[in-house]
Amino acid sequence: MRYEIDPTTFAISIYEDGKDVPFWYQPDYPNTDKFDSYEEAKEWALSAIQSYDVDFEFYPKDGKNLEPRKKPTKQEILESKVRQLGLSIDDLKEALGL
């Protein structure tokens, strides 16, 4: 992946390698806080790209002075999917004979 930053607005465009059209355009932080500098936008862009690594535990920051949100664990994702089915983990274990 690569990124470009508009030198005037600090808007970020993130591209897949070999592609000319960005798959992610980020004009501001997700909560609409503005990027105040090229360096601030660059830091966000690098963290956004890093967030695609399955071994990296965080999403990019939602706004200024906020901590990055932690990605859900595989266990949390599984539990969420089970709840979406209207089951509890105990229900699932019982259905599987565990």
Convert the pLDDT of each residue in 1-25 to its tens digit. 999 999 999 999 999 999 999 999 9
- The tens digit of pLDDT for each residue in 47-83 reads 999 999 989 999 999 999 999 999 999 889 888 888 8
Instruction: List the domain boundaries for the chain.
Output: 2-67, 72-98
Place of tokens 């274990």: 93
Cα dihedral: 50, 3, 19, 16 (round 10): 10
For residues 37 and 56, what is the distance between their CA atoms, to the nearest angstrom?
25
